[in-house]
Amino acid sequence: MYWGQVTLGNRTITIRDVAEQAGVSQSTVSRVLSGAETQIPISQETRERVQRVAEELSYRPHPGARALSGKGTGLLGLIVREINDPFFAELIEVVSNMAKEEGYDLVLGSAKRDPEHALALRDRMLDLRYCDGLLLCGDLQESPEDHTFLAKMGRDHRLVSVSRGSKQLVGNTPSVAIDNRKGVFLALDYLARLGHWRIACMNAGRVGDLWERLEAYSEFMRDRFDGGPEEYVQLAENSYKGGYEATKCLLSLPTPPTAIFAMDDVMAIGALGAAIDMGWAVPGDLSIVGFDDMDVGTYIRPALTTIRQPMEEISRKAVELLLKMIGGEVSSDPWPRLFLEPELIIRDSCGPAADK
């Protein structure tokens, strides 16, 4: 569900329009459409007429009015970093399906990476009672040291953080996240077993999930190989273009890597394109591993080896946790933090280490 209005001519349809066309009072329309019990009986014929007129006019009661009457709105808010990010596009669809299974529809908002925009969306969704609760997905352009943003977002305890890591961007809020450290170790250990030690990574320079993955990469390389060249860590925008450009830099080094670990699948796909354009065979000359297991990774060639985030489980746990919070079934001492298991998905983009 997106923000919008139903109009009659040049104006918004109201409960008065339904009442006038159905030949009843506004209070009768309200009682019929809300399903509220009434002391004065309303005939079946009147109920059917009101429902028919409301349907013909495409009228829906304001969710805030439902909330004021003591009923829930039947809506959950989902604020994501950016709608056009392929990972969040998949997450939106899965969360929507999970919410629908629980009898809720979804109101979607894009924060456009801006914490202030996210707060404005939160105020509309929660303070104006458009939604019963809120899911906040992904990192924004926020400071990990300043938790005032999270305090404002979750001030009435109807917020769950999703895929925002486990440390900097979670603060004192309930959260559902992947075990980033374990996922990175699964990927790098697989490359090491294939004989790779010149392993580069692409870092988006952001806090949250991607920062935790960079920390895990640095820890693994330090413990297993006593570190690696600084130039093997390339700062890149997490986009296809960012992965492409970073890979061109890596493969132009005097001693290029034999494997690249990308912080997400989008950068990994960009890396694959750059390697092929530069005449490198994947996986013959270069191995590439991603993180997320987006659907597209199955269909590119070579198919992408990656770390799977259990998208359905993340979405289900997040929705279930939020509904428990709405129902007052969750203790805040402390708030729950759920960490889900990653899985290594081996496809065709990795092979034994080669020297080129």
In a domain, 125, yes or no: yes
Structure confidence at residue 119 (pLDDT): 84
Q: Give the chain's mean pLDDT.
A: 85
In a domain, 234, yes or no: yes
Q: Does 227 have pLDDT greater than 50? A: yes
Give me the CATH number covering residue 135. Answer: 3.40.50.2300
Same domain, 184 and 278: yes
In a domain, 89, yes or no: yes
Q: Does 6 have pLDDT greater than 50? A: no
Same domain, 270 and 194: yes
In a domain, 82, yes or no: yes
Q: What is the pLDDT of residues 187-223, one digit of tens each?
A: 999 999 999 999 999 988 776 888 899 999 999 999 9
Same domain, 316 and 172: yes
Q: Does 295 have pLDDT greater than 50? A: yes
Instruction: Give the CA count within 13 Å in the CB-facing half-sphere of 282.
Output: 29
In a domain, 69, yes or no: no
Q: Which domain-ending residue is among 21, 36, 61?
A: 61
Q: What average pLDDT does range 41-60 have in this prediction?
A: 84
Same domain, 187 and 239: yes
Give me the CATH number covering residue 14. Answer: 1.10.260.40
In a domain, 1, yes or no: no
Same domain, 240 and 96: no
Range of the domain at 167: 75-178+311-341
Long-range contact set of residues 219-228: C-beta below 8 Å, sequence gap at least 24: 219/181, 220/184, 220/185, 220/188, 220/189, 221/188, 224/188, 224/192, 224/197, 225/197, 225/199, 228/198, 228/199, 228/200
Q: Count of domains in the chain?
A: 3
Q: Is the preceding omega at residue 352 within 30 degrees of 0, hence cis?
A: no
Q: Are 242 and 204 in contact (CB under 8 A)?
A: yes
Tell me how far apart the alpha carbons of residues 8 and 266 are, in angstroms, rounded to a whole number: 44
Instruction: Give the CA count within 13 Å in the CB-facing half-sphere of 209.
Output: 26
Structure confidence at residue 229 (pLDDT): 94
Q: Does 59 have pLDDT greater than 50? A: yes
Same domain, 174 and 316: yes
In a domain, 120, yes or no: yes
Most confident of 22-36, 171-185, 284-298: 284-298
Q: What is the pLDDT of residues 121-140, one digit of tens each?
A: 888 777 656 788 899 988 87
